[in-house]
Amino acid sequence: MILEALAISSIAETVCRSRLFKPIQKWYLLKCSYCFAHYLSLIVALIKYSTFYDFMITWFALVTLAVPGMLLIELLFNQLEEK
């Protein structure tokens, strides 16, 4: 689950912050990396778990575990932009 959360945080930050995805960042869904991580976690939880209880626990755990990774990636992006 930790690897999934790290993947979610890196995908969310990359899609919402990098210049590569600038043309699609105008959509509301892709403006906030925290919000986009919720949607990515929802997709992963829907694919992986079948019972409602496992799905809810996994969804919230993935979002919670993805936040520190997103903060670290955002810090790195800000340092790169300053240089």
Tens digit of pLDDT for each residue in 41-56? 888 888 887 788 778 8
In a domain, 83, yes or no: no
Domain assignment present for residue 82? The answer is: no
Query: Is 13 a member of any domain?
Result: yes
Cβ-contact 10, 69 below 8 angstroms: yes
C-alpha 31/C-alpha 56 separation (Å) is 25
Tell me, what's the pLDDT at 74? Answer: 82
**19: Cβ–Cβ under 8 A, 6 or more apart, which residues?**
none
Looking at the chain, the whole-number percentage of residues with pLDDT higher than 70 is 100
Residue-range definition of the domain harbouring residue 49: 2-77
Number of domains present in the structure of the chain = 1
pLDDT at 83 over 80: no
Confidence band, pLDDT 50/70/90 cuts, at residue 23: confident
Per-residue confidence (pLDDT) for residue 77, from 0 to 100:
81
